[in-house]
């Protein structure tokens, strides 16, 4: 802990540096203490000064420990993320060469792969095991077409994981159709059934998050968006935008802006993220910055009523002359909006 050097103000001690403060409440001096003060005014309770120094050392030690702990946790986070990426890369490295075999793969190779698959089908990496099963069956069909006269058919046994995936997908498809009809509560129940069978079904997790956001269950929605990022990627536009929308609805505008920025990193022209960020900036009172992002959004959709309306509101508030033009454009798109019509009536008088 860095200390400023200050000289003592007691007469005769001007050349002495202040070392500590007196902690004794009964001390008549109650002043900062130099070495001479300790020997003169505070000699009978010098132990208090030592206690102060000890407390200060303990504070420094605690701060150092906290910083070390933060550093360790950050390093652990990085290592965990790196490990997940390595696992995903390793699985893909296994799959791609198998896909590339295509027609050149012999019956013997398919048989060997089939036997290998039977041994590993219980491995708890459901999605990838199901994918491998599809590849093996596809390879078998390709070779069957080329060797129709060959009677040595090999039967590839469908894995339990593949069957579960199909069942999980059926529940998801039903839930997705309900989502399109706006029946979000019923859709969530079906997504949950899908996830009970296959907990890493990314589509089910994502659309459950979307459905929860639509019924204003924002905290639960954010938790599901976080699951998407954990199992898939934290860079995808739809995950960051969806979570940003939930945070904006909860009036956590600064947190929402961080998510919109990540979404815009994936697609700088994404209208909804541009509008969401503009709206958050407006609510935070950053009007000129907000106006800039409303303009960015209007470049992507020049006929968006809400965007035009809020642009006009901000221009009026910060004193730009042509704000009325944008109220007029907005009124052409939605002539029934009371706020816009009130503004036009007020300024036409």
- Using alpha carbons only, give the angle 210, 244, 222 rounded to the nearest 5 degrees: 50
Domain that holds residue 314: 303-349
Cβ pair 32, 18 in contact under 8 A? yes
CA distances to 118, 264, 266, 311 from 297, in Å: 53, 12, 16, 11
C-beta atoms surrounding 295 within 10 Å: 13
Whether residues 57 and 139 fall in one domain = no
Answer whether residue 294 is part of any domain.
no
Whether residues 78 and 13 fall in one domain = yes
- Residue tagged 């990022």 (tokens): 229
Answer whether residue 274 is part of any domain.
no
What is the separation of C-alpha 123 from the centre of its chain, rounded to a whole number of angstroms?
29
Q: What is the C-alpha separation between 35 and 13, in angstroms, rounded?
A: 9
- Residue tagged 């893909």 (tokens): 92
Q: What is the C-alpha separation between 125 and 93, in angstroms, rounded?
A: 15
Whether residues 65 and 136 fall in one domain = no
The confidence score (pLDDT) of residue 138 equals 61
Whether residues 71 and 136 fall in one domain = no
Whether residues 122 and 49 fall in one domain = no
Answer whether residue 187 is part of any domain.
no
Answer whether residue 241 is part of any domain.
no
Whether residues 112 and 56 fall in one domain = no
DSSP 8-state code for residue 17: B
The confidence score (pLDDT) of residue 223 equals 95
CA distances to 174, 215, 216 from 189, in Å: 10, 13, 16
C-beta atoms surrounding 209 within 10 Å: 27
The confidence score (pLDDT) of residue 134 equals 61
Residue environment code for 20-59, b if the CB has 16+ CB neighbours within 10 A, otherwise e: bebbbeeeeeebbbbeebbeebbeeeeebbeeeeeeeeee
Structure tokens at 322: 């042509």
Answer whether residue 70 is part of any domain.
yes
The confidence score (pLDDT) of residue 87 equals 74
Q: What is the C-alpha separation between 14 and 23, in angstroms, rounded?
A: 22
Answer whether residue 229 is part of any domain.
no
| 286 phi, psi to nearest 5 deg | -90, 75
The confidence score (pLDDT) of residue 272 equals 96
Answer whether residue 335 is part of any domain.
yes
Chosen domain end from 114, 130, 146: 146
Nearest to 221 by CA among 252, 247, 193, 195: 247
Whether residues 45 and 129 fall in one domain = no
Q: What is the pTM of this model?
A: 0.54
| Number of domains the chain contains | 3
- Note down pLDDT in tens along the chain; length 349 residues: 445 667 787 777 878 887 677 766 667 665 677 877 777 777 666 666 666 667 767 777 777 777 777 777 777 777 787 777 767 666 666 665 655 554 455 555 555 666 565 555 444 445 555 555 566 666 656 655 555 544 444 343 344 556 677 888 899 999 999 999 999 999 999 999 999 988 888 999 999 999 999 999 999 999 999 999 998 888 999 999 999 999 999 999 999 999 999 999 999 999 999 999 999 999 999 999 999 999 999 999 999 999 999 999 999 999 998 999 999 999 999 999 999 999 999 888 6
Whether residues 2 and 81 fall in one domain = yes
Nearest to 235 by CA among 265, 270, 193: 265
Answer whether residue 237 is part of any domain.
no
């Amino acid at each position: 802990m860095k200390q400023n050097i200050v000289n003592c103000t007691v007469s005769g001690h001007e050349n002495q540096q202040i070392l500590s403060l007196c902690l004794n409440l009964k001390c008549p001096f109650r002043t900062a203490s130099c070495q001479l003060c300790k020997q003169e005014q505070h000699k009978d309770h010098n132990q208090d000064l030592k206690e102060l120094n000890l407390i200060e050392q303990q504070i420094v030690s605690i701060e150092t420990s906290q910083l070390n702990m933060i550093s360790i946790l950050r390093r652990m986070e990085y290592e965990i993320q790196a490990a997940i990426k390595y696992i995903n890369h390793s699985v893909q490295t296994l799959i791609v060469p198998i896909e590339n075999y295509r027609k050149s793969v012999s019956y013997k190779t398919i048989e060997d792969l089939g036997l290998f698959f039977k041994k590993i089908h219980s491995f708890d990496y459901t999605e990838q095991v199901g994918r491998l099963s599809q590849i093996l069956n596809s390879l078998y069909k390709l070779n069957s077409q080329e060797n129709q006269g060959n009677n040595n058919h090999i039967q590839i046994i469908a894995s339990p994981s593949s069957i579960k995936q199909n069942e999980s997908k059926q529940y998801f498809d039903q839930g997705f159709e309900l989502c399109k009809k706006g029946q979000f509560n019923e859709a969530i129940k079906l997504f949950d059934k899908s996830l009970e069978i296959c907990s890493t079904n990314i589509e089910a997790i994502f659309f459950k998050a979307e459905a929860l956001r639509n019924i204003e269950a924002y905290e639960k929605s954010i938790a599901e968006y976080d699951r998407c990022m954990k199992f898939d990627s934290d860079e995808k536009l739809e995950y960051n935008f969806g979570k940003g929308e939930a945070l904006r609805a909860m009036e956590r505008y600064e947190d929402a802006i961080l998510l919109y920025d990540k979404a815009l990193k994936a697609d700088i022209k994404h209208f909804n993220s541009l509008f969401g960020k503009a709206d958050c900036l407006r609510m935070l009172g950053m009007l000129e910055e907000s106006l800039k992002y409303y303009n960015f959004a209007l470049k992507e959709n020049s006929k968006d009523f809400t965007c035009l309306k809020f642009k006009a509101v901000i221009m009026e508030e910060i004193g730009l002359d042509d704000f009325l033009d944008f109220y007029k454009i907005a009124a052409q798109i939605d002539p029934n909006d009371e706020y816009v019509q009130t503004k036009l009536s007020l300024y036409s008088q």
